[in-house]
Amino acid sequence: MKVRVKFEKLGAMKFIGHLDMMRYFQKAIRRADIDIAYSEGFSPHMIMSFAAPLGVGVTSSAEYFDMELRSVMSSHEMTRRFNHVMADGVRVISVRKIPDGKASKGMSLVAAADYYVEFRDDKVPSCDWQNQLSAFFSQASITILKKTKRSEQEVDIRPWIYELNCEENRIFMKLASGSVQNLKPELVMEAFYRFLNEETQPFSFMIHRQEVYADIGTPDQRKLLSLESLGEEIE
Amino acid sequence: MRKLALNDTILLKIDKPARYIGNEINSVMKDKNNVNVRFAMCFPDVYEIGMSHLGIQILYDMFNQREDVWCERVYSPWPDLDEVMRKEQIPLFALESQDPVKRFDFLGITIQYEMCYTNILQILDLSQIPLRAQERTESDPLVIGGGPCTYNPEPLAPFFDMFYIGEGETVYFALLDAYKENKKNGGSRKDFLKRAALIPGIYVPQFYHPVYAEDGTLQEFQVLESDVPATVQKQVVMDLSDTFYPENPVVPFIKATQDRVVLEVQRGCIRGCRFCQAGMIYRPTRERDIQFLKERASEMLKSTGHEEISLSSLSSSDYSKLPDLVNFLIEECGRMHVNISLPSLRIDAFSLEVMNKVQDIKKSSLTFAPEAGSQRLRDVINKGLTEEVIIDGAGKAFEGGWNKVKLYFMLGLPTETAEDQKAIAHLAENIARRYYEIPKDQRNGKCQINVSTSFFVPKPFTPFQWASMCTREDFLNRAKTVREEIHAQLNQKSIKYNWHEADVTLLEGVLARGDRRIADVVQKAYEDGALFDSWTESFHLAHWQKAFEQCRIDPEFYTIRERSETELFPWDFIDTGVTKAFLLKEWQTALEEKVTPNCRMVCAGCGAASFKGGVCIESKS
Q: Residue A9: which CATH number? A: 3.30.70.580
- Considering the domain architecture, whether residues B267 and B225 belong to the same structural domain is answered as no
Predicted interface score ipTM higher than 0.90: yes
Confirm whether A197 is domain-assigned.
yes
DSSP assigned state of B394: H
- Considering the domain architecture, whether residues A220 and A116 belong to the same structural domain is answered as yes
If one counts the domains in chain A, the total is 2
Tell me which residue range forms the domain holding B168: 8-233
Residue B4 with chain A: CB contacts under 8 Å: 12
User: Which of the listed residues A77, A107, A137 is the one where a domain comes to its end?
Assistant: A107
- Is residue B620 predicted with pLDDT exceeding 60? no
Coil, strand or helix: which one is B221?
strand
B418-473 tens-digit pLDDT = 999 999 999 999 999 999 999 998 888 899 999 999 999 999 999 999 999 999 99
Is the separation of the CB atoms in B472 and B480 below 8 Å? no
Residue A30 with chain B: CB contacts under 8 Å: 301-302, 305-307, 336
Q: What average pLDDT score do residues B35-45 get?
A: 98
- Considering the domain architecture, whether residues B105 and B217 belong to the same structural domain is answered as yes
Pairing of strands A59-68, A48-50: antiparallel
Q: State whether B11 and A88 contact (CB < 8 Å).
A: no
Q: Which of A26-40, A42-56, B543-557 bottoms out in mean pLDDT, i.e. has the lowest?
A: A42-56
- Considering the domain architecture, whether residues A103 and A117 belong to the same structural domain is answered as no
B164-220 tens-digit pLDDT = 999 999 999 999 999 999 999 999 999 999 999 999 999 999 999 999 999 999 999
Q: State whether B2 and A12 contact (CB < 8 Å).
A: yes
If one counts the domains in chain B, the total is 2
Q: Residues 128 to 157 of A: which have CB under 8 A from any B CB? A: none
**What confidence tier does B548 reach under pLDDT thresholds 50, 70, 90?**
very high
Pairing of strands A110-119, A90-98: unpaired
CA dihedral in degrees (B397, B399, B402, B407; nearest 10)? 40
- Considering the domain architecture, whether residues A78 and A152 belong to the same structural domain is answered as no
Confirm whether A235 is domain-assigned.
no
Confirm whether B251 is domain-assigned.
no
Q: What is the pLDDT of residue B361?
A: 65
- Considering the domain architecture, whether residues B226 and B270 belong to the same structural domain is answered as no
Confirm whether A177 is domain-assigned.
yes
How many C-beta atoms surround the C-beta of residue B319 within 10 A?
20
Peptide bond into B158 cis (omega under 30): no
**What confidence tier does B32 reach under pLDDT thresholds 50, 70, 90?**
very high
A16 lies within 8 A of chain B by CB: yes
- Considering the domain architecture, whether residues B27 and B150 belong to the same structural domain is answered as yes
Pairing of strands A110-119, A205-215: antiparallel
Q: State whether B255 and A87 contact (CB < 8 Å).
A: no
- Considering the domain architecture, whether residues A12 and A77 belong to the same structural domain is answered as yes
A166-205 tens-digit pLDDT = 998 899 999 999 988 899 999 999 999 999 998 887 789 9
Q: What average pLDDT score do residues B401-426 get?
A: 96
Question: What residue type is A11 in one-letter code?
Answer: G
Residue A148 CB burial class (10 angstroms; 0-12, 13-18, ≥19): exposed
Confirm whether A234 is domain-assigned.
no
- Is residue B355 predicted with pLDDT exceeding 90? no
CA dihedral in degrees (B88, B90, B96, B101; nearest 10)? 170
- Considering the domain architecture, whether residues B299 and B344 belong to the same structural domain is answered as yes
Residue B333 with chain A: CB contacts under 8 Å: none
What is the domain-level CATH number for residue B620?
3.30.750.210
- Nearest Cα residue to B124 out of B154, B157, B146, B102: B102
- Considering the domain architecture, whether residues A86 and A184 belong to the same structural domain is answered as no
- Considering the domain architecture, whether residues B330 and B229 belong to the same structural domain is answered as no
Cα distance between residue A46 and residue A38, in whole Å: 5
User: Which of the listed residues A73, A90, A107 is the one where a domain comes to its end?
Assistant: A107
Tell me which residue range forms the domain holding A164: 109-228
Residue of B nearest to A46 (CA): B337
Residue B22 with chain A: CB contacts under 8 Å: 12
- Considering the domain architecture, whether residues A103 and A130 belong to the same structural domain is answered as no
Confirm whether B41 is domain-assigned.
yes
First to last CA, chain B: 60
What is the domain-level CATH number for residue B41?
3.40.50.280
- Considering the domain architecture, whether residues B312 and B176 belong to the same structural domain is answered as no
- Considering the domain architecture, whether residues A123 and A220 belong to the same structural domain is answered as yes
Confirm whether B449 is domain-assigned.
no
Give just the sign of the alpha carbon dihedral B391, B394, B400, B402. Answer: negative
Give just the sign of the alpha carbon dihedral B147, B151, B155, B161. Answer: positive
- Considering the domain architecture, whether residues A68 and A166 belong to the same structural domain is answered as no
- Considering the domain architecture, whether residues A140 and A53 belong to the same structural domain is answered as no
- Considering the domain architecture, whether residues A115 and A164 belong to the same structural domain is answered as yes
Q: What average pLDDT score do residues B591-597 get?
A: 97
User: Which of the listed residues A51, A78, A107 is the one where a domain comes to its end?
Assistant: A107
How many C-beta atoms surround the C-beta of residue B223 within 10 A?
16
Q: What is the pLDDT of residue B619?
A: 67
Selected residue of A31, A36, A45, A47 to mutate for chain B interface (largest B Cβ count, 10 A): A31
Q: State whether A11 and B305 contact (CB < 8 Å).
A: no
Q: Is the pTM of this model over 0.80?
A: yes
Confirm whether B266 is domain-assigned.
yes
Spatial neighbors of B480 by CB under 8 A, at least 6 apart, are: none
Q: What average pLDDT score do residues B111-138 get?
A: 98
- Considering the domain architecture, whether residues A94 and A116 belong to the same structural domain is answered as no
- Nearest Cα residue to B106 out of B51, B152, B169, B40: B40
Residue of A nearest to B360 (CA): A42
- Nearest Cα residue to B310 out of B387, B362, B249: B249
Size of interface A-B (CB pairs under 8 A): 76
- Considering the domain architecture, whether residues B57 and B206 belong to the same structural domain is answered as yes
- Considering the domain architecture, whether residues B95 and B177 belong to the same structural domain is answered as yes
- Considering the domain architecture, whether residues B195 and B283 belong to the same structural domain is answered as no
Cα distance between residue A68 and residue A1, in whole Å: 6
- Considering the domain architecture, whether residues B265 and B227 belong to the same structural domain is answered as no
Confirm whether A233 is domain-assigned.
no
Q: What is the pLDDT of residue B375?
A: 96
Backbone torsions φ then ψ of B295, nearest 5 degrees: -65, -45
Confirm whether A121 is domain-assigned.
yes
- Considering the domain architecture, whether residues B83 and B126 belong to the same structural domain is answered as yes
Mean of pLDDT over chain B? 95
- Considering the domain architecture, whether residues A115 and A224 belong to the same structural domain is answered as yes
Confirm whether B108 is domain-assigned.
yes
Residue B307 with chain A: CB contacts under 8 Å: 26-27, 30
